[in-house]
Amino acid sequence: MKKINLLNILFAFFIFQSLFVFAQTGKKAEIKRIDSYCKSVDTFVKKYKSPHLVFADVSDYNKNKSKWKKYNSEWAFEKGRETQESYNIAYLWQKKGKIVKTNFTVSSPSGDWAKYVFLYFREDGTLAKSESELRTFVGDFIALQDFYFDRKGRILKKTLEYRDLRTEEPKKPSKDDLEDNSFFMDKTNHFKKTGKLPFASLLKRKQQK
C-alpha cells in the first residue's frame, strides 16, 4: 500500500511539474507575441506625424472631477491649450476604426513631475502592454515600468527599474523618495479595455486607412 501511495505522489508531482513548465512556456510565447505586435503598432504609428485624435481633461486641476474634451487634430489641441491648459492628455491612434495605441501625458501645475504612459491595445480592444515613464524632481529619479497582459487582463509579466533624472544611470531611490512619489507612480490606471478609457464616451467609430 505504501508503495502505491508513493507512486501516486510521484505521478502527481510529475503532472504538476509538467503543467507548470507548460504554463511558463505558454506565457513566454505570449509575451513574445505581444512584443512583436507592439513593434508592428509602433511601425504603424510612425507613418503619421500626428495622432489621429487627441483627448484632454480640461477640468480644474484642483477639483476631483474629470471633464474630457475631444480634439480632431494635435493642432486643434495646441490651439485650444492657449486658453485652456490640460495636465492629463491622451494621444490616440486608430487602425481600421479600432484603437491600437494611446499615449498619456500626465503632469501638474507645479512642474515637479511628469508621467508618460503608452498603452497598446489588441484588435479585440483588450490591453496587451503598458509602458510608463515617471520623471520626478522629488528625489530626482526616473521610474520605468512595463506590464504585459493576457486577453483576460491578467498580468503576464512586469518590470520596474529606476534611473537618475539627470544622468539616466541606474539609481536606487530612497524609501522616503518612493513614498513621496507613490501617488504619481499610480496616477494613470491600466485601462484593460478600450471601452474603459476615461474618454470612451466621446469616441466615434472612424475608419483610418
Please indicate whether residue 13 or residue 153 has the higher confidence score (pLDDT).
Answer: 153
Question: Do 91 and 103 meet the contact criterion of CB atoms below 8 Å apart?
Answer: yes
Give, in order, the Cα–Cα distances in Å from 34 to each of 30, 40, 125, 161. 6, 10, 14, 20
Q: Is the pTM of this model over 0.75?
A: yes
Residue 11, pLDDT score: 61
DSSP summary character for residue 126: B
Is residue 108 situated within a structural domain? yes
Strands (E), 25-87: 53-57, 68-71
Report the domain count for the chain.
Answer: 1
pLDDT greater than 60 at residue 21: no
pLDDT in tens, 137-159: 999 999 999 999 999 999 999 99
- Mean pLDDT across 70-81: 94
% the chain with pLDDT above 70: 84
Cell numbers given for 142: 526616473
Any domain includes 89:
yes
Structural domain boundaries, residue 120 = 38-202
Lowest mean pLDDT among 21-25, 86-90, 172-176, 178-182: 21-25
- The closest of 119, 123, 165 to 145, measured between CA atoms, is 119
Tens-digit pLDDT profile for residues 155-199 = 999 999 999 999 999 999 999 999 998 887 776 668 999 999 999
Asked, for residue 14, whether it belongs to a domain, the answer is no
61 part of a folded domain: yes
12 has pLDDT over 80: no
Has residue 3 been placed in a domain?
no
Number of other residues whose CB lies within 10 A of the CB of residue 101 = 22
Q: Considering the domain boundaries, does residue 192 fall inside one?
A: yes
In this prediction, residue 22 carries a pLDDT of: 44
Q: Per residue in 53-64, pLDDT tens?
A: 999 999 998 888
Give 137's contacts (C-beta < 8 A, 6+ positions apart).
112, 113, 165
Domain presence at residue 44: yes
The percentage of residues in the chain with a pLDDT greater than 90, rounded to a whole number, is 72
Strand partners, 57: 68
Does 159 fall in a domain?
yes
